[in-house]
Structure 1
């Protein structure tokens, strides 16, 4: 039988010597990593004024986008905008809530997923590829926005057309950001955005 290993090498020298103890140690280390800490760190509860302001802001942002959608007949609203509202009104200081991230992230996720959809269809593996590629592109361009992962799935699940890139992805994002800019800056203790680009 002909061997394809380099001269003087055998399978024992190439494969690591695994025994029960080394396997057990690797499993134990893995379990320690996934267990997490013993005590949950609670989220800091904001003041009542902040909660009310966040709720009112998200109401105005979503209602304005929905109203414009009805009046113009253009589909400006999609489910991921609910999560976007959590960020831009609930934690407006977050780097993930800045206009570059909201508009850029949603646009990039829509563009990537539309491209994958039209090249490969809406197969399960293509859905995974759309979300994964959208995340990678957002990280690469500095526009990471968590709700944009859902934008990629919406495109794949609805088999959207190229128009989705502008309406609702781009136009809806711009409307929400403008609502956040106007509304958040009405409060004395809020400044939005922290940066545009």
Structure 2
């Protein structure tokens, strides 16, 4: 068990403390529940087909790895929005060739996020979902950027700012070092 804790400390940006684990769970639960309720009750998405999987990965970062540069607000929101735009444009340009479209969407979203300093790994999935998603996703076109992507990213962010600052041991977002 000591070996596990030693390895955990090497790879994790957060201290291994019970309160961190509990607040990560609470934050991710409320964050995803907030997205689900918003989509079902406000957007009328009864089958929740617009609750995209990349939000689960974002929840891991913004609630479980709050000190990671990839979890910061600029990265969370900017990464998702830019990647959604790239995904929609990719689908519109190459929809006849799903292989090219998929690879182009992910690779270009990474490039754009790197150039804009908004790298957020779930953004790659957001771009890919715009390409490989259901007909419902495709029919949204650029509205996909507004919802589900922007609304979901902002819901996660608002809840992260509240939950991650309740405990005296957690502060989010990180202060920018100048």
Q: 1:171 to 1:74 in 2, by over 3 A?
A: farther
Query: Which of 24, 27, 31 is the aligned partner of 1:57?
Result: 27
Q: Are 1:103 and 2:68 matched, yes or no?
A: no
Q: Are 1:89 and 2:59 matched, yes or no?
A: no
Measured against aligned partners, the alpha-carbon deviations of 1:86-107 in whole angstroms (never above 9, x if no partner) come to: 0000011111001100000000
* Aligned residue in 1 for 2:115: 140
User: SS at 2:7's partner residue?
Assistant: coil
* Aligned residue in 2 for 1:172: 152
- TM (norm. structure 1) is 0.75
Structure number with the bigger relative contact order (C-alpha 8 A, sep ≥ 6) is 2
Per-residue deviation at 1:179? 0.5
Per-residue deviation at 1:195? 4.5
Per-residue deviation at 1:69? 1.3
User: SS at 1:87's partner residue?
Assistant: helix
Q: 1:164 to 1:98 in 2, by over 3 A?
A: same
Contact 2:106 2:127 (C-alpha < 8 Å) held by counterparts: yes
Contact 2:94 2:100 (C-alpha < 8 Å) held by counterparts: no
Q: 1:104 to 1:59 in 2, by over 3 A?
A: same
User: SS at 1:143's partner residue?
Assistant: coil
* Aligned residue in 1 for 2:40: 70
Q: What stretches of structure 2 of length at least 5 have no aligned partner?
A: 1-5, 10-14
Measured against aligned partners, the alpha-carbon deviations of 1:62-109 in whole angstroms (never above 9, x if no partner) come to: 111111111102556311000000000001111100110000000000
- How well do the aligned residues superpose, as a CA RMSD in angstroms? 1.7
Contact 2:75 2:118 (C-alpha < 8 Å) held by counterparts: yes
> Is the radius of gyration larger for structure 1 or structure 2?
1
